[in-house]
Each structure stands twice: as C-alpha cells, then as structure tokens.
Copies of this chain bind each other. A is one copy, B any other.
Amino acid sequence: ARMTAKLTPLAASLPATVPFTGPETLERRTGRPFTARLGANESLFGPSPLAQQAIAHAARDAWMYGDPDMHDLRAAIAAHHACDASHVMIGEGIDGILGNLVRLTVAPGDAVVTSLGAYPTFAFHVTGFGGHLTRVPYISDHEDPDALLAARATKAKLIYLANPDNPMGSHHAGSVIEDMLNRLPEGTLLVLDEAYIDLAPPGTAPTIDPADPRVIRLRTFSKGYGLAGLRVGYAIAASPLIAAFDRVRNHFGVGRIAQAGALAALQDQGWLTQVQASVAAARITLSDIARAHGLIPLPSATNFVTMDCGGDGAHAARLIERLATHGIFARMPGVAPLNRCIRVSVGDDAAMAVFAKALTAFM
C-alpha cells in the first residue's frame, strides 16, 4: 500500500483524540435526546429577535461572500468600544482568534502560562503550535494572577486569563487585571478572555487603553448575545497586533450571514440588557435549586453556576452521568480540585425546573 502524506513532526506529535464531545454526540451514543441543554453555557434566552431577522434576511444574499474586511461590523464594534476600527479584529469565535493569536506569537518551544483547569481550547492551540505550556493552580476557585505572573522560569510569550473565569464562574475586579498588567514582564502579552464579561457585575471590566500593547481582549457573540451557532468573536488590541492577523487569518472565514447576525445583535443592546437581568435572576434560582439538593453553588459572574458537590472528581462525574440519564446535559471541570464541582448553565424557569426535577429524582 502507498503511504499517505506524512504529517509534519509537530502535527504527528499532537494527540489524535477528539478534544471536544458535543451534546449531539452524547445523544447519538445513548439514543436519548437531552431535555435541557445546560452544559455549554449557551444562552437559553436566545438571540435578539432582530438578529434572527437579520440572519433570515441575509439568507437570500448567501450567494455572496462576506466582506473580508468586515467593515460594517468592525466599525460598529469600534463605536461600541469608543475606539478606532484598527484596534478590532473579528474571527470565527474566540476559539478561532485564539488559534491565530497563538500561531502569530508562539513558536515551537516558546513558553506560555495558563491556569490548571482553565479553558481547554487555549491549551489546545498552544500545544497545536508547539508551545510549552505551564499551568498554575487556581486559588480559592479563582485564577491566580500572582501565580500566573510568577510562573516564568522561562519568559512567557502569553499569559492567559479568563475574567470572569470558565469553568468556575468566579471573577476578579477590573482593578486586579489593571494591576496585573502593570506587573507584566516586558515582551509578555496578556490574553484576557472576556467571553462572559457581558454577564458580570459592574467593575469587572478593567479600564484599558485599546492601544495598550501589553494585552489583547477577547469578546464574543456566543454568550450574552446568544449567537453561539453563528461563530463570531472579536479581539481588541494595539493596532500592530490587530494588523498582524491579516497575515494568517481565513479572510472570508466570518461569512456574510454571521456578519449580518452579529451586527444586528450588537445594535440591539436592549435585548442584551434583558438577557443580563434574566441571567442574574436565573443564577439565584439555580443556586437555590443547588442548595435545596445539598450542593454548594459558587458565586457566579457568568451565565452558569458551578456547584461544589462535596466529594471528589469521581463523585461529580457520577452526578453528571446521572443528570444525563435524566435528560440533563451538564459538564464539569477536568482537574482537581476544581473537579469536585459540576457546571450548569442558567436558563428560563422551565429549564431550571427540569434540572431541579432531575436532582430531586436521585439526590
């Protein structure tokens, strides 16, 4: 038999396993559809009706490529953040932007720092480009700025921090991030993942000059705006770094429909305000449900509540498994000590009732 094309040494060294198991895959495995989809921190409150209309309306124009400059959406995002469009890059979700950012800045062997148990997709990309990843522990269920800054036996190209944090739902005040920036070593870029910032308390977003070369901020339409299925995220950073994305990105990757939907969502800030209120109320409901069933809800600055199940990872995994048999899709952190918890997305009263009923059935 002929040999197939050889992978590069780097590609050949990467894990062959599929890193992401979606709820659809679990449903196909068990043959049972989930009745409540609470495992991916999607917005059960849905996208703005205006965004839905924009998507439907753009469908007839789907024969045209999207604007590769993404001018209109970029201008609207820039206006939203009161900055110049040269500070804004849009990509296929934060995931897509993280991939290109790592590609631009991390050569094989370069040091990168993240937290042990933090967003796995960042680690996936760092490993994928041959970076050397140092993972520091959480402290009291928060990502630990001091440990992240200290972990630089070799100087880090990137330090990743999500604020608010996934999977713990915790957050730091914006001033903590500002302080962290001031202590950042020369040549290190802070990757500040603000996917959940729209759902966090006032004061969580640090005040940062968009031209500040020490940091890249990442935002998304997947969480508060409820458009996870569209795949649109964006970065705010100094213009030279933003411009560098043009060297490597898939220029037509954010298509016409995605641009139209995201633009309409951004323009409907009233919907976002409504979602913020719904999420805040649902966090209380969900936390009450957790407590009523012997779980300890952690404070959350996101659209999910992480719950301490009072045991080890195996105990939490059994809970996830039982929830699944009762039609609930939920997830849990991957490593100790975070994995004593399960992570459940908030939703409307109906979804929260389904979750409560499942817990009641077996707790």
Contact = CB atoms under 8 A, between A and B. Distances in A.
A258 interface: yes
B42 A52 contact: no
Given A5-B158, A252-B93, A252-B231, A247 B11 contact: yes
Contact of A105 (B7, B17, B244): B7
Interface in A202-246: 213-214, 222, 226-231, 238, 240-241, 243-244, 246
Given A65-B229, A231-B255, 14 more contacts: A2-B213, A5-B189, A5-B241, A6-B105, A8-B103, A8-B105, A18-B69, A18-B246, A24-B69, A55-B62, A63-B226, A93-B252, A95-B251, A231-B254
Contacts of A104: 7-8, 11
A229 B64 contact: yes
A154 interface: no
A46 to B, nearest CB: 5
15 contacts: A4-B238, A5-B213, A8-B110, A11-B105, A15-B247, A16-B243, A18-B68, A22-B67, A24-B67, A46-B63, A99-B250, A229-B256, A231-B255, A253-B253, A255-B258
Given A9-B107, A69-B25, A93-B252, A62 B16 contact: no
Interface in A250-283: 250-258, 261
A37 interface: yes
A59 B63 contact: no
Nearest to A227: B62
Contact of A52 (B51, B62, B92, B253): B62
A44 interface: yes
Contact of A2 (B16, B42, B214, B243): B214
What range describes how many residues of A lie at the interface? 35 or more
Interface string A26-43: 001000000001001011
A160 B62 CA distance: 28
Contacts of A43: 63
Contacts of A362: none
Contacts of A106: 8
Interface string A182-202: 000011110000000000000
A188 B5 CA distance: 6
Given A6-B105, A11-B247, A95-B250, A55 B52 contact: no
Interface string A305-347: 0000000000000000000000000000000000000000000
A4 B213 contact: yes
Contacts of A228: 62-65, 252, 255-256
A230 B256 CA distance: 7
